[in-house]
Structure 1
Amino acid sequence: MDDQQGNHAPSLAGLRDDLRADCEKCFGLCCVALPFAASSDFAINKDAGTPCRNLQADFRCGVHQSLRQIGFRGCTVYDCFGAGQKLSQETYGGRDWRRAPELASQMYGVFPIMWQLHELLWYLTEALTFHAARSLHAKLDDVLQETKRFTELAPAELLRVDVPAHRAKVGELLREASELVRTEACRKQKGARIKARNVGRGADLIGAKLKGADLLGANLRGAYLIAADLRGANLRWADLIGADLRDTDLRGADLTDSLFLTQAQLNAAKGDAATKIPPSFTRPEHWA
């Protein structure tokens, strides 16, 4: 993120790597613990705690190469932020729900908690790279360390973590960091794009025609951008935390320095070779 970044990036690189899903080290927890309903994202209904019919004995997906084609697009969008392998290999020490069925119910309850904690770690590690938010770095690091400690708890203790309260605390710090970064970015543009910053949290922009829009520094936190046309839009330093980008047309858009972007958001959107994304992200295969 250019000169908006601080000097924490190298020290956080290792933690960021642990926040990337590694399905080879997971026991298919997302394919069992989480429910889904028949929709444009899933071809069937599945209850929480019931293994997906496509999950094989080795915990791999039997239809991984054709998920989008056969109606399981939601699976290609999902990202556990490394919570699956954390639980599988560390919290439960390699014991899986098949060989230890007495732990299965607990695993299914703990998984969503670990998932949320890892998501918060993803955002916190990014916020600590923002040079413009350096006044908040001490507080951000404190809450990051607290979040890490939660992820290291035993299962029974994890179930007692007040996740909503912790999310609220982290969310407020992330909001403050975002405001500092976006204000600085807009100031350097001599105020020409200050108006764009006032789109507003949770804005309903479903199907909006925003082709070529200058949204530099925009507050798009939690915005509904489902099927919106953002072709060629400038989203540099726009806050995208929690924004719904399902079927958002990002062809030719510039997300180079967007804040709090996730791989799952990119996977849910439409893009092409001209879409500019941060170098740490993977261009989704279906964009081709």
Structure 2
Amino acid sequence: MTETRLNLLADCTGCFGLCCVALPFARSTDFAVNKEAGQPCRNLREDFRCGIHADLRDKGFNGCTVYDCFGAGQHLSQGTFQGVSWRQDPKSAPLMFRAFPVLRQLHELVRYLDEALGLAAAAPVHPELRTLLVETEELTELTAEHLVELDVPAQRAKVNALLLRASELARARVPGRKRDRRGADLIGAKLRGAELRGADLRGAYLIAADLTGADLRDADLIGADLRDARLAGADLTGAFFLTQTQLNAAKGDGATRLPNGLARPAHW
């Protein structure tokens, strides 16, 4: 994949702590407490920063460490709402909190489209990708009132159809037979050393799967659930539509090979 554009990277310094307020979470292995949507997390400080950021995992907030807004937080805070926070204008809070997950989805789509344009083998659909990228980016500039009325599933369906075509073109250049495990239930699967180069793993459930030493080069991992998947020594070189969120939820090591533009999680 290509280097991720800066506007698609979360910048918490420019955000009003939206993921810590707008989103709900339930007490579980990922969160230490229950929290309703629109209720500020007890760890959110007055400056909109997390009071336990360095100790989230130790304090039972693993879910926070794997979340990524794809830059939607600072966009909504500084762009859509022009730097006026929900604390400064409490009346704006309900609309701001409703608009945040919508904008987050649009930013995610922009991220995927941008990556697809970096796939040389997908050149036949580059013109369509560019058109849809411009269209989706224009949607991110809508007012909050229009964002909350947007039919995001319809836009996602359009984008997904084109991303699928780009994926097929990119994986076609990989020699040999490619495995099709799209949407497969591979929870806890024993895939140590598996040959999955060029595989279609879109939306596959790989929760706690053992992918130690697996060959995942040039695999399509869009939407794959990698929570607690063991990626020690796995080769993810060239894997596409893989996000930092997915990596943060997995368990790798220093020998795990990653695509360009993605960082090795600190907890590995």
TM-score of the superposition, structure 1-length normalised? Answer: 0.91
| Aligned mate of 2:219, from 228, 233, 238 | 238
3-state SS in 1 of match to 2:75: helix
Report the Cα offset of residue 278 of structure 1: 1.6
Q: Does 1:198 align with 2:180?
A: yes
Distance in 2, Cα, partners of 1:215 & 1:183: 14
Q: Does 1:158 align with 2:139?
A: no
> What's 1:23 paired with?
12
Report the Cα offset of residue 64 of structure 1: 0.5
| Aligned mate of 1:120, from 105, 109, 112 | 109
Q: Does 1:226 align with 2:207?
A: yes
Distance in 2, Cα, partners of 1:221 & 1:234: 16
Equivalent AA in structure 2 for residue 164 of structure 1: P
| Aligned mate of 1:149, from 138, 151, 163 | 138
> What's 1:52 paired with?
41
CA displacement, residues 35-74 of structure 1 (integer Å, 9 cap, x when unaligned): 0111111111111000000000000000001100111000
Matches within 5 A, 1:72-221: 72-185=61-174, 189=175, 191=176, 194=177, 196-199=178-181, 201-221=182-202
Q: Does 1:263 align with 2:252?
A: no
Distance in 1, Cα, partners of 2:180 & 2:20: 39
Distance in 1, Cα, partners of 2:214 & 2:185: 17
| Aligned mate of 1:34, from 7, 12, 23 | 23
CA displacement, residues 199-227 of structure 1 (integer Å, 9 cap, x when unaligned): 2x210000000000010011100000000
Distance in 2, Cα, partners of 1:29 & 1:198: 37
CA displacement, residues 214-248 of structure 1 (integer Å, 9 cap, x when unaligned): 10011100000000000000001111000000000
Q: Structure 2 unaligned runs (5+)? A: none
Report the Cα offset of residue 152 of structure 1: 0.7
| Aligned mate of 2:52, from 63, 84, 93 | 63
> What's 2:253 paired with?
272
Report the Cα offset of residue 282 of structure 1: 1.1
CA displacement, residues 85-111 of structure 1 (integer Å, 9 cap, x when unaligned): 000011100010001101000000000
Distance in 2, Cα, partners of 1:284 & 1:159: 33
Distance in 1, Cα, partners of 2:148 & 2:212: 43
> What's 1:5 paired with?
none
Q: Does 1:284 align with 2:243?
A: no
Report the Cα offset of residue 29 of structure 1: 0.3
3-state SS in 1 of match to 2:179: helix
Q: Does 1:254 align with 2:235?
A: yes
Matches within 5 A, 1:2-17: 16-17=5-6
Distance in 2, Cα, partners of 1:277 & 1:17: 19
3-state SS in 1 of match to 2:102: helix
Identity %: 63
Equivalent AA in structure 2 for residue 113 of structure 1: V
Moved runs in structure 1, 4+ residues, more than 2 A?
A: none
Report the Cα offset of residue 281 of structure 1: 1.1
Q: Structure 1 unaligned runs (5+)? A: 2-8
Report the aligned-residue RMSD.
Answer: 1.0
